[in-house]
């Protein structure tokens, strides 16, 4: 495959060489290694020249996999949005082509993971190698970050964007790099979630965990149990109108995420955090009290009845409908803060629900409390507050997702003056959020047991996109680097300089980032 596609690339280069050429451009000296890329690539070699992106540039891709052409179209759309250039994709009859971007499906053994990519930038061409469209997609995010905000019109008689030349060899540290949105405490619309996905993709996240149910609201339509949204979807923290995703809405989000090579992980939290479900169908309730709609923020008072067969029939329907709409491999059952569930009942519940999840073809994820049960090694524990449970799960053969509240919770305030957020776990300023290494954070947890990192954003204190973005950015950008870049590249002084130069992207995207005084923001 590599020889065939490279032959095509060489043929296209030859075709371009036959076209009438403009005079050679004397590019200014550039340094690819100094580019403010986030996440920082594994290896960068600068060659001190440049590629000139202009209207005479074309994009070509391997054509044996339609997904590669889709990556090329995505890149073309983003280049047009940034520069105004409308670059053709796989148009071999274009006689005006002078420079090429070629996205190549390669079978190189140097591409060790599905997300690995190689980027070769020369004065007349850019070659992006990847085994999969997912890897190619990660590579074009790097290329997007290398395109300057302004053209350099002094070099030519037309607009031209100078991209530094060299080689980048890159691959992620972890195969799971995620963030979580709590749409239950406050509801966020499809468009708000899509905007979040756009930014996630730019910084190479690959997983979006949606917290779809809690005491305050149920947010996903279940056709076999309609009151879940009719009743449970009508509330949220503070007494707002709530809301929910229809199944078509959810499928739309799944498809949009897939276009960005992001997997959605649905979560139905249980056996605790279940008041909205029990208000909708009171037979589910197991705390012995009358259930009423809840709009506060206290936790730990609700539980499903772990001894009722009808509860598991209900969950079979719910998990089945959501699993059928979720092409990703995971289903998250929550499992945290079930304070009124008796421990034997809790263990029984987790083990029963795990089998239901598996029946519907998914791997179970749960918060670290699930390690108290006899879970299958294929199930995954997500650490938020109990390292001993994470270690127990790892000893059982389970993989661990790291989301320590003291370091990775996006809803924690930056400091005592922050407008939004909480601080029960910690204040997390931008440097504290970056200055920890997932590989060594939990003493005694083997590196090979770590599946990845996820930064959760709980929504008790926020109710719209601007407030969400205030808490997420810029910290989310740092978590992107912690999940992707080698540990030896994690350096706060270096990172904060690159972070400062993200302002043009954040402002173009209209992202309401928190302007931490720790960063010398570079506003252009």
> Is 304 within 8 Å of 274 (Cβ atoms)?
yes
Which residues lie below 8 Å from residue 203, measured CB to CB, with a gap of 6+?
38, 39, 141, 476, 477, 480
> Is 243 within 8 Å of 233 (Cβ atoms)?
yes
> Is 94 within 8 Å of 150 (Cβ atoms)?
no
Start-to-end CA span in the chain (Å): 44
CA distance 462 to 490: 30
Strands 161-170 and 125-130: unpaired
The structure tokens 């329907």 sit at 317
Which residues lie below 8 Å from residue 485, measured CB to CB, with a gap of 6+?
39, 40, 41, 42, 173
Q: Is 46 helix (H, G, I), strand (E, B) or coil?
A: strand
Tell me which residue of 207, 210, 277 sits closest to 459, measured CA to CA: 210
> Is 340 within 8 Å of 274 (Cβ atoms)?
no
* 3-state DSSP helix/strand/coil % of the chain, to nearest 5: 35, 20, 45
Would you call 292 a catalytic residue per the annotation?
A: no
Q: Which helix (DSSP H) or strand (DSSP E) does residue 167 occupy? A: strand 161-170
Of 337, 354, 469, 481, which is the active-site residue? 337
Tell me which residue of 131, 164, 216 sits closest to 49, measured CA to CA: 164
CA distance 215 to 293: 8
CA distance 288 to 294: 16
Q: What is the DSSP string of 256-270?
A: HHHHTT-EEEEE---
> Is 144 within 8 Å of 75 (Cβ atoms)?
yes
Secondary structure E strands in 183-325: 207-211, 213-214, 217-218, 263-267
Question: Cα-atom radius of gyration of the chain, to the nearest Å?
Answer: 24
Which residues lie below 8 Å from residue 101, measured CB to CB, with a gap of 6+?
57, 58, 59, 60, 75, 87, 125, 126, 128, 143
User: Side-chain half-sphere of 180: how many Cα atoms within 13 Å?
Assistant: 30
Identify whether 484 is preceded by a cis peptide bond (ω within 30 of 0): no
Tell me which residue of 295, 192, 317, 299 sits closest to 238, measured CA to CA: 295
Residues marked as catalytic? 337
């Amino acid at each position: 495959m590599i020889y065939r596609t490279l032959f095509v690339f060489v043929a296209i280069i030859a075709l371009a060489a036959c076209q009438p050429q403009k005079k050679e451009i004397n590019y200014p000296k550039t340094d690819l290694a100094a580019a403010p890329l986030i996440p920082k690539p594994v290896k960068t070699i600068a060659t001190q020249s440049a590629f000139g992106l202009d209207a005479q540039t074309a994009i070509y891709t391997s054509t044996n996999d339609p997904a590669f052409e889709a990556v090329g179209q995505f890149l073309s759309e983003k280049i047009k949005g940034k520069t105004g250039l409308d670059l053709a994709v796989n148009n071999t009859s274009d006689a005006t082509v002078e420079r090429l971007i070629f996205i190549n499906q390669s079978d190189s053994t140097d591409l060790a993971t599905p997300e690995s990519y190689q980027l070769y930038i020369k004065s007349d061409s850019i070659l992006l190698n990847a085994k999969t469209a997912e890897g190619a997609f990660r590579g074009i995010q790097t290329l997007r970050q290398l395109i300057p905000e302004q053209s350099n019109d002094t070099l030519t008689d037309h607009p031209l964007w100078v991209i530094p030349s060299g080689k980048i060899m890159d691959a992620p540290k972890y195969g799971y790099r995620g963030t979580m949105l709590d749409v239950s405490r406050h509801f966020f619309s499809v468009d708000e979630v899509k905007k979040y996905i756009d930014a996630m993709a730019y910084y190479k996240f690959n997983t979006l965990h949606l917290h779809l149910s809690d005491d305050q609201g149920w947010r996903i339509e279940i056709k076999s149990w309609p009151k879940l949204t009719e009743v449970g979807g009508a509330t949220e923290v503070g007494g707002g109108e709530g809301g929910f995703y229809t199944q078509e809405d959810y499928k739309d989000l799944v498809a949009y995420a897939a276009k960005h090579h992001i997997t959605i992980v649905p979560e139905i939290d249980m056996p605790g955090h279940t008041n909205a479900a029990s208000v909708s169908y009171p037979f589910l309730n197991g705390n012995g009290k009358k259930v009423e709609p809840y709009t506060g923020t206290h936790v730990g008072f609700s539980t499903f009845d772990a001894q009722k067969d009808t509860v598991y029939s209900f969950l079979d329907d719910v998990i089945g409908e959501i699993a059928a709409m979720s092409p990703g491999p995971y289903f998250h059952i929550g499992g945290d803060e079930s304070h009124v569930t008796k421990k034997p009942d809790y263990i029984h519940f987790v083990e029963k629900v795990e089998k239901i999840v598996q029946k519907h073809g998914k791997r179970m994820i749960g918060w670290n409390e699930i390690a108290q049960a006899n879970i299958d090694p294929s199930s995954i524990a997500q650490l938020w507050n109990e390292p001993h449970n994470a270690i127990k799960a790892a000893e059982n053969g389970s993989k661990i997702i790291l989301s320590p509240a003291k370091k990775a919770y996006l809803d924690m305030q930056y400091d005592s003056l922050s407008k939004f957020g909480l601080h029960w776990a910690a204040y997390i300023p931008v440097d504290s959020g970056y200055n920890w290494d997932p590989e060594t954070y939990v003493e005694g947890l083997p590196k090979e047991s770590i599946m990845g990192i996820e930064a959760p954003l709980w929504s008790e204190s926020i109710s719209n996109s601007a407030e969400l973005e205030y808490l997420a950015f810029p910290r989310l950008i740092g978590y992107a680097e912690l999940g992707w870049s080698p540990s030896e590249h994690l350096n706060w002084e270096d990172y904060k300089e690159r972070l400062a130069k993200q302002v043009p992207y954040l402002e173009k995207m209209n992202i309401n980032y928190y302007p931490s005084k720790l960063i010398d923001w570079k506003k252009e």
